[in-house]
Structure 1
Amino acid sequence: MGDDKRGETHDTALLRSMVDRGLITPELADQALSRSQPDASAVDLLIQEGYLTKHIVETLLADTKDPTAIADFKILGKLGQGGMATVYKAVQLRMHREVALKVIDPQFAINKEFCERFIREARVAGQINHPNVITCHDVGQDKGYLYMALELVTGGDAAQVAQQDGGRLSEARALRVLIDAVRGLAALTRAGLIHRDIKPANIFITEDGVAKLADLGLARPSEDSERMTNAGMPVGTPAYMSPEQAAGEEAIDCRSDIYALGATLFALLTGQSPFQGANALAVLA
């Protein structure tokens, strides 16, 4: 496809996005455009011929604008954005309940296998009902959006709270956070889950000072051989990983999460992570 984006139609813009993501070649996009008709767009032709699926097209269409509503959730505003997802403040209309709506980035949501595993693992996490674990209210797909509705906690995370207190917490407050986190971890362990990414930023604090383990996006059943990540690849945050997790070992268990809790306590008390380096590889080394 040419580089001139002036006067670009919606169909052309969508095809360009597919080319940029490596889903189709520029030549295939140009051929489809040349054969398109008023009653059969280039994208329609590529779906009919098996080059694309409706799931891929819906996901890419969802990526072109910020949503105002997803399924039964009305979007109120953006709370934050990470490498894998965007989190919105939303209200679940049927329940009149405010939630944190986590919407997965299309580069992941476009993969049907990823979506299926994400939903399965979220359902396992949703079975946990504990005061020290963020509740997962719902998970699903709607018009190309892959989402998870989570309990909304407005007090910030432990890293933010420590920053507000001058960069570190007092011993008493840090221990209260840790005790709550240990209780939450015990609930995960009883459910057969490993968190795999415990760190100060993944421990949320309520307005009443209760700490809750959050971001179960990397959590998986401890006996699960079919998961979203590749075997042999370390998953989590390098500075808080146990040695076996950093080595990419498959047979990790709750002891890796306990290690991460210890590293988290170190960070909350000292104001710095236990291991530092110029980049992730340097930290892992």
Structure 2
Amino acid sequence: MPSPIPVTRLLPRDFRPSVELGACSSPLFKNAGGSTLLVPTPTFRSKIASRLWASVIHWNELHCLEPLGSGGFGSVYKGQYFDETVAVKKVKRCTKNKLASRQSFWAELNAAHLRHKNLVRVIAATTNIPDNRDNADNIGTIIMELAGTRNLQQIIYGDVEPLVESRCLKFSIDIARGLQYLHAHSIGHLDVKPANVIVSDTGVCKLADFGCSLKLEQSGDLSPLTTHLGGTYTHRAPELLKGEDVTLKADVYSFAITLWQLIARELPYTGDRQQILYAVVAYNLRPPVNGDRFGKSTFGQTCKALLTRCWNASPNQRPTAEKLLAELNMMQSC
């Protein structure tokens, strides 16, 4: 299936793909840091070989796929790749919106070149899929690090261990660090929510699932790579619900809803979806911050003030991810 993205969009301007590259449009790499996995590097120019992820999957090295979960555009599996345990995402063909499923795959790669301890690392990705029964509806495969076996939503709503203030703050700082790094590279995640935050065995939070992400060009205009906007309505900024311009501040709004969930351990809204959407946009509906967890401690009161600014209806009134991280770090040092 041809990509909706020009081949040169993901390559250096002075590079032209050879027949060795296959269907995906980014050169191979030798994996850098944080892993024992070394993907064989072909004989490209050194400038190309230094890229951080692979556009060719060595299918004979991928084994033992076990289902981990599924979402709107694909399923995630646990597997072995070059003897390392990895997560494998298969992006499925959406019969109702074929373009959206292709765009979701390419959006997943917006942050593939980035390396940060609070982002799930992409190892390899390709649209060149073996033709067999297991891949009948698969339009693209992404191999990622297996960052953890639980997400933040499972911890918030299913963990018997209490989410004490220090733990909430630590998780929040991890998420803010990932956002600050993304935003420094002009990438908006646009689907920040507890289910898209993987928590490692050592308690490190990593942002995952970039299928709704967008790249902002240096001019400030949105990249044409992704024209659809997905995301979860309960966490989606009101300007996006109204169809207005997308900015990085939309992630700050989504962060605020996620922080509220960490503290309250409740669902942000209940009731009819359309009524909630209308109330968020027209009446500034937000999750309640009048409970004991937001009023009886200095931490709760500080978080209440931070939430109010982060989910402000006007993006210009919200802090940047950098300022948000600075405030959270200050709270941790107090």
TM-score per shorter chain, which class?
Answer: 0.5 to 0.7
Question: What is the RMSD of the two structures over their aligned residues, measured on CA atoms?
Answer: 2.7
Q: Offset at 1:170?
A: 2.2
Whole-Å separation in 2 of the counterparts to 1:217 and 1:70: 23
Aligned to 2:115: 129
Aligned to 1:239: 234
Aligned to 1:79: 68
Q: Offset at 1:242?
A: 1.1
Pairing of 1:178-257 with structure 2 (within 5 A): 178-223=172-217, 224-230=222-228, 235-249=230-244, 251-257=245-251
Whole-Å separation in 1 of the counterparts to 2:67 and 2:182: 28
Compute the TM-score of the two structures, normalised by the length of structure 1.
Answer: 0.66
Whole-Å separation in 1 of the counterparts to 2:197 and 2:166: 17
Structure 2 gaps, min length 5 = 1-22, 24-57, 279-334
Farther-moved stretch of structure 1 (175-184 vs 135-144): 135-144
Cα gap change, 1:73 to 1:263, in 2 (>3 Å) = same
Whole-Å separation in 1 of the counterparts to 2:96 and 2:80: 22
Whole-Å separation in 2 of the counterparts to 1:70 and 1:126: 20
Q: Offset at 1:110?
A: 9.2
Does the 8 Å CA contact 2:94/2:101 hold for their aligned counterparts? no
Q: Offset at 1:108?
A: 6.2
Whole-Å separation in 1 of the counterparts to 2:181 and 2:112: 12
* One of 276, 282, 285 as aligned partner of 1:283: 276
Pairing of 1:28-107 with structure 2 (within 5 A): 72-92=61-81, 95-107=82-94
Whole-Å separation in 1 of the counterparts to 2:98 and 2:177: 35
Amino acid aligned to 1:99:
V
Whole-Å separation in 2 of the counterparts to 1:105 and 1:181: 28
Larger helix percent: 1
Amino acid aligned to 2:239:
E
* Divergent runs of 4+, >4 A: 69-72, 108-114, 117-120
Q: Offset at 1:274?
A: 2.7
Whole-Å separation in 2 of the counterparts to 1:131 and 1:176: 14
Cα gap change, 1:88 to 1:197, in 2 (>3 Å) = same
Compute the TM-score of the two structures, normalised by the length of structure 2.
Answer: 0.57
Q: Offset at 1:217?
A: 1.3
Does the 8 Å CA contact 1:74/1:90 hold for their aligned counterparts? yes
Q: Which entry has the higher C-alpha Rg, 1 or 2?
A: 1
Identical counterparts, % of pairs? 28
Q: Offset at 1:195?
A: 0.3
